[in-house]
Structure 1
Amino acid sequence: MTPADLLTSNDLVRALDLLGVVVMGITGGGIAARLNFDPVGFAVVGIVSGLGGGILRDVILDRGIPAAFDGPWYFVCSLLGAGFAFLITSEGRALNHLMVVLDAIALGLWAATGTAKSLATGLDMLPALLLGVLSAVGGGAIRDVMVGRIPVIFGGGPLYATSALVASVATWAVAALRLDPAWVIAAAALGTALALVSAWRRWTLPGRADSLVTLSPAQVATLIKRARWAERRKLARQAREMVAEEAAADQVDAASPSADR
């Protein structure tokens, strides 16, 4: 059994895979809700979010029908997620935390699956890594472009693309070292762990802030927070200066009568 066989045939892995599609459908539906889309928009954005990366990978590999079309479950899960976002608000601290965890699990699995499938078709290391990352974050990037946003993976957000790359490199190492296929689960878990920690610690990659022309939503939020903090510090400094000036003026006024006498 190869790593690709393990990732595509294990029932638990498949269940987590489908759960990740649901989560991405909810995420896409949340964006559709903020843009006031109708049910058709929710469905399209949900499908693209959940299935876009895998479909693009399978089309590039040209190995028959894409996995998303091999049965109804992938489309059903993406539509369930989009329908959930349409009918029920996806806001809430507990739900958001759960979605982050499930999204990170799916990211690690999708990156490992994409890399393993690419290696199984005979691709070299770099193309296999590229398709692994594409499998994990391609759907979200296509979704963002489709709704007129700069993809979050381009900066300001959690290290999802980096986490996918880590999982892909680890999967390639399992194949290159001819380790037991079960180690590919550890490779996927490595990418998942990095995604979770980066989301928790709010890690981002350094960017060229001085050369930014347009910003992603996450970058805009960060810029606003920094501007507000700078404005608060400026107002506090001005208040201290005013208090100091008033105190100095009071001292002058207090000293003036004695000087006159």
Structure 2
Amino acid sequence: MDLALLAVELLGTFAFAVSGALLAARKGFDVVGSLLLASMAGLGGGVTRDIIIGEGTPAAFSQPIYLAPVLVAVVLVLTGLLHETRLRRTLLVFDAVGLSLFCLTGTVIAYNAGLNEIACVLLGVTTAVGGGAMRDVVANETPQIFNPRGVYAVPAMFGAGLMVIVLSYELPLIWAGLVVSSLVFALRMISLKRGWRVPLAGRRSGRAAISDGGT
């Protein structure tokens, strides 16, 4: 793997791992729970991508360096250096950083593996949202990808699509990647601030609302 791509992967792993460790702290989990959520958030999307591509052992299992960002994230949260009460919406910010970086790396790795453009976009999105979905499911939270409050998969899809264009036209990868990741991060954070939503799957019936305790 190219050194620059590995660096971005590790940075994205750290960002998502922090989000997992913060969620564990919010839930009152112990150290084992923190390590589990941080590992799932930081490594889950990349492992899923590598398994789908099918080119040997996933990088997270064959390269121990991937564990370093996870351990650092857990330590920072355990020691209180990173805490939601100190940094406003810390979990969502780190989650957005991971989303913006992993949609890039997932797309690039899929493209380098010789997959077609549509598959590259899909794997870019899978890499970006996979770890966060695992984190939320294990913590008994509604996965961000299914949460109507703020778009999640849409920014990742947008970024992955732009990266396919960048790769197809052989544009400067580092600078283009920086621009694309910034756009994805901004789109995610703006959607949270302004309450942007994607259309709901359907209207709930009154009977369903009553059975769930709604009015």
Any idea what SS the aligned residue of 1:53 has?
helix
* Residue 46 of structure 2: aligned partner: 54
Q: Tell which structure's C-alpha radius of gyration is larger.
A: 1
CA 1:72–1:157 in structure 2 vs 1: closer, same or farther (change >3 Å)? farther
**Pairing partner for 1:143 from 135, 139, 144:** 135
CA 1:124–1:98 in structure 2 vs 1: closer, same or farther (change >3 Å)? same
Q: RMSD value over aligned CA atoms? A: 2.8
* Residue 157 of structure 1: aligned partner: 149
Structure 2: which amino acid aligns with 1:198? S
Any idea what SS the aligned residue of 1:210 has?
coil
Matched, 1:205 2:195: no
CA 1:70–1:96 in structure 2 vs 1: closer, same or farther (change >3 Å)? farther
Structure 1: which amino acid aligns with 2:134? I
CA 1:34–1:179 in structure 2 vs 1: closer, same or farther (change >3 Å)? closer
**Distance in 2, Cα, partners of 1:179 & 1:84:** 37
Q: How does 1:214-225 map to 2 (within 5 A)?
A: none
Q: Percent identity?
A: 33
How many pairs does the alignment contain? Answer: 207
**Distance in 1, Cα, partners of 2:56 & 2:105:** 16
**Distance in 2, Cα, partners of 1:23 & 1:96:** 15
**Distance in 2, Cα, partners of 1:35 & 1:194:** 28
Structure 1: which amino acid aligns with 2:84? E
Structure 2 residue runs without a partner (length 5+): none
Query: Whose relative contact order is higher, 1 or 2, with alpha carbons under 8 Å and at least 6 apart?
Result: 2
The CA deviation at 1:125 is 1.9
* Residue 55 of structure 2: aligned partner: 63
* Residue 250 of structure 1: aligned partner: none
Structure 1 residue runs without a partner (length 5+): 215-223, 228-261
Q: How does 1:148-187 map to 2 (within 5 A)?
A: 148-182=140-174, 183-187=176-180
Q: Which moved more, 1:183-192 or 1:113-122?
A: 183-192
